[in-house]
Structure 1
Amino acid sequence: MDKNRSEGMKNQVKGTAKEVVGKVTGNTTKEVAGKAQKTAGKVQSAVGKANDDARKGR
């Protein structure tokens, strides 16, 4: 598994946590930061998947 996939998943989890904390506390800055980190994690995971597929010759 490509390192980007695992790092991407980690960023998605952290982003989701930040987003929830932001919603619960009413902190829109933290909520938006969480959404951004979650999206960045999704992109990073997709890059890792593409790298894995390229290595496998797909």
Structure 2
Amino acid sequence: HPVDAVVDTTGAGDLYAAGFLYGFTNDFGLETAGRLGALAAGEVIGHLGARPEVSLADLAKSL
């Protein structure tokens, strides 16, 4: 899922870690957990601020 424009990178690493750990602890497997981490990081860099606009559970549904 490419990002249209990078607006603010604050929180990207934290969201990657959160997405990966969410996927890993929910038995998604390492590859899918990594993809969820990347998707979460991509979501947060598209707007100002470090708070995601979409929950990890909702992002996981899009995988």
TM-score (norm 1): 0.39
Whichever structure has more helix as a proportion of its residues is 1
* Larger RCO, structures 1/2 (Cα 8 Å, 6+ apart): 1
Q: TM-score, normalised to structure 2's length?
A: 0.37
Is the radius of gyration larger for structure 1 or structure 2?
Answer: 1
